[in-house]
Amino acid sequence: MAPQVIITSIMFEDNLLLIGSHQKVKGQPPEQFKIAIPKIPAYFTGTGDLMTALLLGWSNKYPNDLDKASELAVSSLQAVLQRTIADYKEAGFNPRSDSLEIRLIQSQDDIKNPQVKFKAEKYAPKI
């Protein structure tokens, strides 16, 4: 069994869910958590790659705290997407009808030092 698993982008009502499972202590059962993320009505190019990179980076910094690494990754990504939408709107584009290239360079501070706005909650799946 893998000690850490993340599933991103599960659609649930008007939100996306990130579901994580990790074994904090060897020999103990894994703990699950979820992060609810409001769905943004736009199509972005590169979000999966960015999310993977952010999870990898934050997991490297917090190897024993997948909850925290996930909170930081989701918060970074959402800040980048919000900046992207704002830039496109300012330029006169409709974020709902265009494919949006994410604003990585403009969002460096949000990537390096995100404000955690999306918190992990314990999750107990019903079987």
Question: Among residues 49, 65, 67, 87, which one is catalytic?
Answer: 49
Is 49 an active-site residue? yes
Helices (H), 1-127: 47-61, 66-90, 108-112
Q: Are 83 and 103 in contact (CB under 8 A)?
A: yes
Q: Are 14 and 38 in contact (CB under 8 A)?
A: yes
User: At how many degrees (to 10) do helices 66-90 and 47-61 cross?
Assistant: 140
Coil, helix or strand at residue 105: helix
5 φ/ψ angles, rounded to the nearest 5 degrees: -140, 135
The first and second tokens of residue 55, run together, are 């999870």
Q: What positions carry a catalytic annotation?
A: 49
